[in-house]
Structure 1
Amino acid sequence: MGKVKLSKRIFALVSMALCVTVLVACGKSTVKGASDPKELKVQFVPSSNATTIEAKAKPLEGLLKKELGIPVKVSVSTDYNTIVEAMGSKKIDVGFLPPDAYVLAHKQYGAKVLLQALRFGVKEPNDESTGKMVDFYRSQILVRKDSGITKLSDLKGKKIAVQDTTSTAGWIFPAASLYKEGVNINKDNIKTVQVKGHDQGVLAVYNGNTDAAFVFQGACKLVTKDAPDVMNKVVPIYTTAKIPNDTITVRKDMSEKWQKKIKEAFKKIAKSKKGHEIISSVYSHEGYADSKDSNFNVIREYDKTAEKLNK
């Protein structure tokens, strides 16, 4: 009798174990089916003229489709917040996010960074290339050479061209740097003018529409065709600390399998002649390196300083 009860108990435990295994397997299948894209939606943010960027980035659709085996749609968002929200609502699968936008997307929606862009380092005074690939850049505060503005305190009461408030180089780092030097952009009678694209920030200063601009180091080279003498007329009065380069980030529920596929696809494309031409013309990217969330802790530190601007 005891043996029969024991056999029944063992049978029951085995049956339960099988049921759990089946449920887990089903769960994995469901998650995989929900997170594996049938069409990959990739979106950029405008660092310069949005229409121009979209035209330059469109050829990536064919290259990515070839590598991934599914249709790819490339688009350009109106601003940083738009792409973060689109990734949070799963309307966008992959975002070319600047560092602060990535930190926001990670905090709000658990977005995952895959890659960090590599660029040639830039040195002053003429934004010349160092010839060395780096995973960081810097922000600058530009003024007209003949403006009489030579130090940060001179910006009190002036007009400054800025990017969206989630832009690392176009707002966070320069605004936080000003704060550390005793200048509060929100309280020292400074008027900010939001422009779309760092090229527009440079031109705002060049044309005398603003007294200064927050841009990434090297942005003056974006407008040399339209303003050949820009390097002589527009100069930096401040250069910030290192900022981690742009990211290639995916939505939270992208499967590990597809994270790896996307990561390898972008690396391979960046090394091809056609692919390199595209990423170089869009964002001046030269290649991509694996990244991790902790690389962006410096952004979080500057964000905390920026939060003090309204206190």
Structure 2
Amino acid sequence: MQKCLAAQWLIARHCLFRKSRVLTLAVVVALLGAGCTGKISSNHQSIGDRVSVSNTNNLSTLKIGVLPTQSQVEQERMIKPLDEYLEKALKRRVDFQVAKDYKEVVDWLVEEKVDMAYVGAVSYFEALERGAEVEPLIAPIDKYTGRPWYRAAIIVEANSSIKKLQDLKGKRIAFVSKSSTSGYLMPIAAFKKLKINPEQDFAQVIYPGSHAKSEAALENGLVDAVATNIPSYMKRQKIGKLTSANSRVLWESAPVPHSPMLVSKKLSPELIQDLKWAFLNIPDGIEDIVGTEVGGYTLVGDADYAPIKQLRVELNLNFEAAK
């Protein structure tokens, strides 16, 4: 396990088609040998030309589930322009549904109540373990890294006496959810490597259910540290909450593959292809609705998330253990 946790994640080339030009970007792939799977032809059709001719009238509503990463008001604000864009691009109604927690969005996938879902990598594997017939379609390109990965982080108050991870023993900590990749899996892996037992070594552990709520727990003095990720932390800074004056990054993880948009394998190949073109040609200024500031999207596949799958196996964090 230590070898796996200490190894560096490799970078491979991956193609992103955006606004009728080809950009070559780096994407995180597994140290276990996973390759980049997303490919699309270099046909420079506009999105209006690309969408299937049959997608005109009387088509079923496309239902999309979303993790609760922000406040309800903020997430609804972020969803609106994307909703309008997709309805125009796909020529059908699109219905976004924000889950109350990580488990609910996985439930929707398993029960086939949604056709697609924005989830974290851990939630993807939980859905598979529970029998959901889904596959990754696209993932955001992080605006700050220029790549389809981000970093998990642990944040503490700026004047905290906590200087290293070992100093967290006996302290209060907030994890987002046991189904969160950056808000649980990655920091747990770091703690295990240092022989820190989350079940015994912390004074208190809470699971607020979203990155925004977890970060608010630190702001309100309810915990001494919070497990989150760098994009969410930077978004919090932009709204004047966890600023560089009152907080700091204690720890950052190795690169983590960005959260995938999952699609049902039961969707028609034509609709899946239309969705690829819609996201790869998305206009500037439309925010990613789970909080990442994006510089576009790229195609992804199961192999791109092999490092997360392997890490869950090594830490014995399958679905039954994580409930």
Range into which the TM-score falls when normalised by the shorter chain? 0.7 to 0.9
Letter in 2 for 1:238: W
Aligned length: 261
Residues 1:83 and 2:70 are matched in the alignment: no
In structure 2, give the amino acid aligned to 1:80.
Y
Residue of structure 1 in register with 2:164 after alignment: 151
SS at 2:316 equivalent: helix
Give, in whole Å, the separation in 2 of the partners of 1:80 and 1:280: 15
Paired position in structure 1 for 2:265 = 252
Question: What are the equivalent positions in structure 2 for 1:214-233 lying under 5 Å apart?
Answer: 214-224=227-237, 227=240, 230-233=243-246
Give secondary structure in 2 for the equivalent of 1:134.
Answer: coil
Match of 1:106 in 2: 128
Instruction: Measure the CA separation in 1 of the matches of 2:304 and 2:242.
Output: 37
The whole-number CA distance in structure 1 between the counterparts of 2:248 and 2:66 is 28
Q: Work out whether 1:67 is the aligned partner of 2:86.
A: no
Distance 1:189 1:99 in 2: 26
Q: Matches of 2:170 and 2:314 in 1, distance apart?
A: 21
Determine the structure 2 residue equivalent to 1:161: 174
Map of 1:171 onto structure 2: 184
Identify if the C-alpha distance between structure 1 residues 118 and 147 changes in structure 2 by more than 3 Å, giving closer, same or farther: same
What residue number does 2:35 align with? none
Q: Assess, with a 3 A threshold, how the Cα gap between structure 1 residues 217 and 229 changes in structure 2: closer, same or farther.
A: closer
* Structure 2 match to 1:138: 151
Could you tell me which residue of structure 2 aligns to residue 5 of structure 1?
none
> Which deviates the most, 249-258 or 295-304?
249-258
Q: What letter matches 1:110 in structure 2?
A: E
CA contact (8 A) 1:57 1:282 kept: no
Q: Which has the higher contact order (CA 8 A, sep 6+)?
A: 2
Unaligned runs of 5+ in 2: 1-58
Following the alignment from structure 1 to structure 2, what is the Cα–Cα distance between the partners of residues 203 and 185? 21
Deviation at 1:97, TM superposition (A): 1.2
Displacement after TM superposition at 1:243 (Å):
0.6
1:176 and 1:305 in contact (8 A); partners too = no
1:190, 1:103 → 2: CA distance? 30
> Which of 289, 300, 303 is 2:298 aligned to?
289
Q: Is the 8 A contact 1:199 1:222 kept in 2?
A: no
Alignment match, 2:10: none
Matched, 1:200 2:209: no
Give the match for residue 23 of structure 1. none
Pair 1:187 & 2:209 matched: no
Partner of 2:312: 303
**Equivalent position SS for 1:175:** helix
Partners of 1:244 and 1:114 in 2: how far apart? 13
**Deviation (angstroms), 1:181:** 1.0
- The structure 1 segments of at least 4 consecutive aligned residues displaced by more than 6 Å after TM superposition are none
Aligned equivalents of 1:140 and 1:208: distance in 2? 18
8 Å CA contact retained: 1:47, 1:198: yes
Q: Return the letter of the residue paired with 1:41.
A: K
C-alpha displacement of 1:225 = 5.5
Q: Distance in 1 between matches of 2:142 and 2:239?
A: 24
- Alignment RMSD, CA only? 2.4
User: Cα 1:304–1:96, aligned 2, differ >3 Å: closer, same or farther?
Assistant: same
Q: Does 1:120 align with 2:143?
A: yes
Which has the larger Rg?
Answer: 1
Unpaired stretches in structure 1, ≥5 consecutive residues: 1-36, 122-131
Residues 252, 105 of structure 1: alpha-carbon distance in 2 compared, 3 angstrom cutoff:
farther
Q: Tell me: CA distance 1:242–1:54, structure 2 relative to 1, closer, same or farther (3 Å).
A: same
Contact 1:48 1:199 in 2 (8 A): yes
Residues 219, 241 of structure 2: 8 Å contact kept: no
Following superposition, the deviation at residue 284 of structure 1 comes to 1.7
Question: Does the 8 A contact of 1:44 with 1:96 survive in 2?
Answer: yes
| Separation in 2, partners of 1:292, 1:228 | 35
